[in-house]
Structure 1
Amino acid sequence: MIGAAAILASIALTPATASAEETIELNMATPWSGGHWLEIGANSYAKIVEQITDGRVKINVFPAGTLGPALKVTETVQMGIADMGHAWGGYDWSVDRTSALFGGWPGGPNPEEYMMWLYNGNGLALWKEWRDDVFDVVAIPCGVTETEIFMHAHKPVRTPEDLQGLKLRTSSAWAEIAPKLGASTVVLPGSEVFSALERKVVDAIEWGGPGGNLQEGFDKIAPYMMMPGLHSPSAVHDCIFNKAAWERIPEKDQKLLELAGKMTMLETYLGYAKMDIAAYQQMKESSPAEIVLVEDSLVKAVGEASDEWAEEQAANNAWFKKVYEDQAAFLDSISGLSEFRFAPGSR
């Protein structure tokens, strides 16, 4: 674990490789057409980078589809079409299912646990090594997301039986786990989610937490919203860099970009929580949709199906096995937290 003080101390001893006057501009591709993941996530990282590098590194943030396909940010960065991207590993699951373990999955950590695994455990080192080995990009985790709303739907979902035949828009690991419970899944980019739900092309969708979903207006077009987010207790975004673009950055500023990622983790954790608390209260008071809490039988069924899926992936994917076993071991190692600490919002 490298703390902020150690990073700053090493920066002071690192000779500059570019003049103080030189500004490096980086174009960032994102999968977000708007909303809080663009504003609180990608834009926050860009602002922090510009601030702590005294303007030596400037990141131009582009919305989805501007520099490449919304679901192909990693590929856009690999090819050098964009210098960097604000990425979500779940969109890369078709290349390597290990992405779900970093991007968030039903059996994965909540926001606090993700940050602990990254910075107190082996998560950060594994993430960097995996991104380099599989995708040939430099990766910096730069945002932890909220627990999502389980789904907005045209019919209530409380039990495993309610998933039978449900046509669900989703992505990443849940797209393969939900069918084990009888659902039919389809992956759509964010720009198509609202219309698909509104026109009943799908029966249900999952997207984000209360804050983002309230902005999108999903509760206005579907009469039920299910909680809690069994499919995504949390997720992490990473800022990925084309290697040629990364090498243009002086070493001392590379270290600051790393530090900016850690700072943005806190910024997003606090920002999304604040937004979600206010939005959820508004939903309870004035949303036309009914809030449905799922039954324990569904929680158990999702957990069992998720474990089954993970074991299947680990049997055939060395990277998945390595990360899955480390993540599971870390979560087990911190189980004592529940015995002596209150969960946020539990009192």
Structure 2
Amino acid sequence: MPSTRGLLAWLAAALFCWTALFQPQPAEAKIVWRGQSSYPTGLPQLYSPAERFAHLVEELTGGELVIRMQPGGSIVPSKQVFDAVNSGVLDIGCTWAGWWIGKFPASVLFANSYPNGMQMREMLSWIYHGDGLKLWNEMYAGQNVVVLPPYGMLGSENFCWSRKPINSLEDFKGLKFRTVGVWGRCLERLGARVVSLAGGEVYPSLERGVIDAAEFGTPAIDRKLGFEEICPYLKVPGIHEPCAPLETLVNEKTWEELPDRLKPMVKYALKISCFEAINEAMKEDAEAMEYFRSSPKVEVSKLTPEMIEEIKRIGREEMNKMARDDPFFARVLESQRSFRRLVEPYADLVRLPYPFAQPEGE
């Protein structure tokens, strides 16, 4: 029999081996995803939800999955996020579907970037409980990407900033207007000269008079960019984009290789991030609009009912044209319209008018 000292040495060695075998994995053995947003740091409501989502994933998975999220342009140019996820250069991309209209015309429907699109609550309901997410993934069939629920959601954009007053649709004639997508086609029908510019070029182009008017983002985003410094006229509401889901793309192989027990945690993190983004944006946009309305340099006004109805009519005609040319576009458009026929009458029935703020003490 071995001596007591030998037995103790053997037990110590066995305990060391057992501990080494079953101790937690070292940090370098974690699952690490390479991620990028299409947006730079510093812009509210665009990059910050992607950053929040990455933090939530690490927290919910206990550090088993880490997403190294980078701002737009860090790894690939902002408008190449889809291609980078598709090729595997990125594991995950936080972006906006409307950028891909050239490849996938129906992307504007998921971006909600067309006149008289869906309101925020109805849009989220269609994505989660209608056919939205299923059709979103079907749009990219044959690509190496998986669409997960939105990581964020923008509220209504400002309709436009302009150097000249816009009081009727006739005022668009000859106007050099910065916009993108379906709304650009509608503006051209109204006589505007549409100019496509990247976000960073909008302010200097307005300042130099290269363009006369522009739409870009929500009140909080536009305040950050300082459009009120050079444009005295602000028009609302943003009928061209009533809300905007922010797209979450994951490389298909990356998603398939993720352990099944972690996948629900990623989806929960997206829901929480989107929820936080919506509620945060309400306050930020209200504060920004109050700032614009109180500024002696800015005149804030609403589109007239007549202007809204004509924009809706033109927008519907443009969407119908696109549906005739693209069967999948037609399917998605009908899915949205069918869902709206179901939920919007109810939403209108129970909607209460906003009360006026009461004086203090009442």
TM normalised by structure 1 equals 0.89
Are residue 103 (structure 1) and residue 111 (structure 2) matched? yes
1:30 aligns to what? 37
One-letter amino acid matched to 1:127 = W
1:237 aligns to what? 246
Change (3 A) 1:236 1:196: same
Pick the aligned partner of 1:184 from 182, 190, 193.
193
1:89 aligns to what? 97
Structure 1 position 39, deviation (Å): 4.0
More relative contact order, 1 or 2 (CA 8 Å, 6+ apart): 1
CA distance in 2: counterparts of 1:29 and 1:345, whole angstroms: 42
Change (3 A) 1:344 1:55: farther
1:205 aligns to what? 214
One-letter amino acid matched to 2:204 = S
Contact 1:29-1:64 at 8 Å conserved across structures: yes
1:122 aligns to what? 131
Change (3 A) 1:65 1:39: closer
One-letter amino acid matched to 1:45 = F
Change (3 A) 1:62 1:345: farther
CA distance in 2: counterparts of 1:262 and 1:278, whole angstroms: 25
Q: Which deviations, in whole Å up to 9, do the C-alpha atoms of 1:105-125 show, x marking residues without a partner?
A: 223111111111112322122
Change (3 A) 1:287 1:32: farther
Structure 1 position 152, deviation (Å): 0.8
Are residue 290 (structure 1) and residue 318 (structure 2) matched? no
1:68 aligns to what? 76
Q: Which deviations, in whole Å up to 9, do the C-alpha atoms of 1:120-158 show, x marking residues without a partner?
A: 322122222223x16431111222111010011111222
1:32 counterpart SS class: coil
CA distance in 2: counterparts of 1:319 and 1:150, whole angstroms: 29
- The structure whose Rg is larger is 2
Pick the aligned partner of 1:339 from 328, 344, 349.
349
Structure 1 position 89, deviation (Å): 0.8
Change (3 A) 1:63 1:108: same
Pick the aligned partner of 1:258 from 267, 290, 298.
267
Structure 1 position 326, deviation (Å): 0.5
Unmatched runs of 5 consecutive residues or more in structure 2: 1-22, 358-362
2:78 counterpart SS class: coil
TM normalised by structure 2 equals 0.85
CA distance in 2: counterparts of 1:168 and 1:246, whole angstroms: 41
Q: How many pairs does the alignment contain?
A: 328
Identity across matched positions, percent:
29
CA distance in 2: counterparts of 1:67 and 1:287, whole angstroms: 42
2:3 aligns to what? none
Unmatched runs of 5 consecutive residues or more in structure 1: 1-18
